[in-house]
Amino acid sequence: MVIKPKMRGFICTTAHPLGCAENVRRQVEYAKSNPIQGAPKRVLIIGSSAGYGLACRIAAAFCCSADTIGVFFEREASGSRTATAGWYNSRAFEQLAKEAGLLCESVNGDAFGDEAKQEVIRLIKDKMPGGKVDSIIYSLAAPKRRDPVTGEVYSSVIKPIGGAYQNKTIDFHTGELSEVTIEPAAADEIAQTVKVMGGEDWLLWIKAMSGAGVIEQNAVTVAFSYIGPSLTYPVYKDGTIGKAKEDLEEKSKQITALLSPIGGKAFIAVNKALVTQASSAIPVVPLYISILYKLMKEKGTHEDCIRQMVRMFKDRLYAGKAPVPVDEAGRIRMDDWEMEPSLQEEISRAWSDVNNENTGEYADIEGYRDDFLRLFGFGLSGIDYDVDVKNF
């Protein structure tokens, strides 16, 4: 079958296996060029099939020569339907890791459930040298979560709190700007978003692993967050997602207390805004990212997922510094280049001036679109997308 991108809103329903493999290969090559000494050797990545989670797994394996276990929930190909991009990404990673002689185990299942947690614990005991891990990356991003105790399913929403919010947004497929109004979240929607995107499941993972004795002395665990500029506060920091991230930070304190007897610590890493399927669904954010990308590319400070995660491992977590460099709230700030004050002033001016007549002058919509398609294995040089793909 000749595989082409099929779009449904901000979702691409197809993925290209060769393109996904090439995307992973390029990230691996970058990681290989950045070896890190004194880094972890036995790493669990919860949410390892795309984005920051995949980049962490690649960095751990190919910067640090670490054995890894990855957890994800992806769909294999069926009939004429392609597998998900994350499934192809994971397959490509596993092949390259095994060729490099690295232990590589994967669990494809609901990471929110107890079954996946118990399977991971079994793999750590049976497969990992010493039966323990020394680093745990938590990078889950899902619209729904089933409570492992009650069975209730919670759904997250991306909404402001306290009042409607109106601002510019862009259709990154067409490049057309428009005004969007987002109605405020109800109390139950806020609570459900916290249940899905907060830190409860991260804490449950650490409790289960700690109880099973599979966490090494002085281990670190990291979960990801985003703050962003005041421009996006109503739909992010001060909205439903922001409430979930507040819960994530509170749970990080509880996890640090839980791990303190073995010298372990939990960190929140605040990352740069990047093109993901999740961020593409948030009104206002694609336009902000497009303006950000244009300016950061001009300044030579733009980073993709793998570059940012390699920098996090190399310059923050495993830089040989004691303690790990953090901000006043104890967070690792990987958004430092994005939030540089003079850059944010330029973004604010561009935001005020951009319109449908001058979009190309102020925003890198083409770069945004290219990055989005690459998430699904499309648009990579060296891949013939007109060739019939067999056994996909």
Model confidence over 110-136: pLDDT tens digits? 999 999 999 999 999 999 999 999 999
Residue 295: predicted pLDDT: 98
pTM over 0.85: yes
- Residues of the chain with confidence (pLDDT) below 70: none
Told to judge if 236 belongs to the known catalytic residues of this protein, a careful annotator would answer: yes
142-145 contact pairs (CB < 8 A, 24+): 142/73, 142/112, 142/196, 143/196, 144/196, 145/112, 145/195, 145/196, 145/201
Q: Which residue has the tokens 């929930």?
A: 73
Question: Helix H segments across the chain?
Answer: 17-32, 51-64, 85-99, 114-127, 187-197, 200-212, 240-259, 277-280, 285-299, 305-312, 341-353, 359-362, 365-374
Residue 177: predicted pLDDT: 96
Residue 9: predicted pLDDT: 78
Which domains does the chain show, CATH number per domain? 7-160+186-282+301-335 (3.40.50.720)
Q: Which of 165, 236, 288, 318 is an active site residue?
A: 236
